[in-house]
Structure formats: C-alpha cells, structure tokens
Amino acid sequence: MGKIDVHHHIIPAFYHDVLSSAKIPVGTSIPSWSPEASLDLMDKFQIDAAILSLSAPGAMIAGGRDEVRTLATNWNDYASKLRAASPEKFGFFAALPGLLDTEGAIAEIKHALMDLKADGITLFTSYGNKYLGAKEFEPIWAELDRHHAVIHVHPVQSREPMFTTPFLPQPLIDFPHESTRTASDLVLSGRKRQYPRCKVILSHGGGTLPYIAERLAKLGETIFRGVLEEKSPRGDQIMEDLKSFYFDSAISGSANVLDTLLNWAPRDRLLYGTDFPFAGGLEEYFDTALEDYDMDDKLRELYYRDNALTLFPRLRALLG
C-alpha cells in the first residue's frame, strides 16, 4: 500500500547556509538533504508521494523583514520546481515570512496558493510570544479560510525564556507541548470554529492534545469558563473542535501514542508522516512500530493514504 507522507522536510542549500550562519540551537546538527535522499527514503518505506515543508525555525531566521520575505519566496519557488519535475511524487506546503508580518504573510499566501498552486501552507506554533489563536492573526486566518487552505502546523522553539537543562532541548520535550498549546489556543479563542474552511494538521500525533483533551474540554467549560471570549466554543463544542484537527504520525508511531490517539481521534483525521530528515534516522523505527501496530485494513488505508488523498485533490487525480 503506497503511503502519503504529509510531514517531510527539505533543506535546500540556501536554507542550510542560513541555518548554519545563524547557529540556531535545533537540538541536533542540521541534517544533510537532497532530492535523491527524499526519493530513496520514499522508496524504502513505500511512500508514493510526500508533501514537502520547511521545518523550524522557518524563514524568520533570515532576520530583517525583507530578508525573511525573500527567503520564504525563494523556498516556495524551489519547492514548486521540485514538484513540477515530479508532480506525482511531491507536493508542498508553502512557507510564509511569519505571521507578525501581516502584509507579507497575506501576499505570500496569495503567491503560493494562486500563482504556484501550493498544496497547502506551513504555520508554526507561535510567532514571537503569540500562539495561533491571537487576534492579531485574524486577517491571515481569514485569507487562509478564503482559499480553503490545508495548513500544516509545525512546532517551533518558544522565544519566551523558560527553565530547562542541557538534557531537555526543546525539540525533545517542548515541541509536543507547543503543538498542544497552539491547538488549545485556536480552539478556546474560537478561531478554529471561526474559520471552518481551514483544514489544520497537527504534527507528531497532536503532541499531548489527545491525552489532555478531556481535561481541556471539561475544565474549559467549567472552572476556567471566565477566560473564554464571545467567539469561544461552549460545552460539547470544545471537544468537537479539538477533534476537528488532523494528526500526523511523525515520530509518533509507537504503541503508547497510538493507543491514546486511535481511541480518541476520528478515523478520517489520521495522516502518515515521517519527519524526514529531522527524525535523526528513526524513520525506520517509527514506521516499523506503526506497521506492527494492530489495526484493521480499512483504518490502515485511511491512515496511510486515503485521508491524505481526500485533503489533496491534486494528488488524488494523479494517484487515484
């Protein structure tokens, strides 16, 4: 059964150079990448197509506004050319210059979705000290909603100082929590319900969201009801909105994660992902764990392929 990988990163040479010069602490060394490496991995794990994306820290690492905008556009143009060379193998989530640059973000959304016909958009869990439900981001959500956009949300390192130790680099522990925080912010702010035509994918099985969803929904409508706003969901709407996300399997194919996720998430919200090449060589470990996990054939088809083909009609037309 050919899989569709919705969490697959690329590192063009120009982006690798920016990361190297910035000396950003990503928790591991910057992996090497080439188009051939992606195709080799896809062949090894029976992946028919991969939706390519820019990983953290994203275009914002370039520094100034103009440099950030240029880096996002250059990455999108590069990914578009990769897809044009192998349209049945590759799609791409377009990069944005960052949501704090409203004008630049909206311009790049239009360029990516209207000119390049990108398969979707990458957003990061936070920008500055704001999660994705922030009021300041409403114009961007409105533009994404207008395009019925598919959005892949990837965790990024928090810019707020926090207690940590050398043994707890943020990608190890905080990335799953950042996904949970921004998803919760989207739901409790009412933004998820406000823009229902946006189809939002959470990385890494939704982080810790499936584990704490019941707590979030029940406490959100009772003890902490006072923090909700007029547009916020109420009662059963909170859980309904939490379950409206999609969840990729990148670095999340182990049984302890799947036991919780599959018991909670709707079957049509599950997507396959590898996190190549940032999985540190663990793609095989998690792919094998997912393959060995006991699930019925229909669910496996949905997880590996059919749910993604529903999200990406261009690939459905090519792959059937």
pTM: 0.93
Where residue 114 falls among pLDDT bands split at 50, 70, 90? very high
Q: Is the pLDDT of residue 283 over 80?
A: yes
Q: Is the pLDDT of residue 174 over 80?
A: no
Pairing of strands 199-202, 246-248: parallel
The predicted model gives 133-157 an average pLDDT of: 96
pLDDT (0 to 100) of residue 158: 66
pLDDT tens for each residue of 200-222 = 999 999 999 999 888 888 886 76
Residues in the chain, overall count:
320
The predicted model gives 254-261 an average pLDDT of: 94
Q: Is the pLDDT of residue 179 over 90?
A: yes
60-69, 108-117, 234-243, range with greatest mean pLDDT: 108-117
pLDDT (0 to 100) of residue 170: 65
pLDDT (0 to 100) of residue 303: 98
The predicted model gives 84-103 an average pLDDT of: 97
pLDDT (0 to 100) of residue 226: 66
Nearest to 7 by CA among 242, 261, 246: 246
Q: Tokens 């006991």, residue?
A: 294
Amino acid occupying residue 260:
T
User: Does residue 75 contact residue 95 with C-beta atoms inside 8 Å?
Assistant: yes
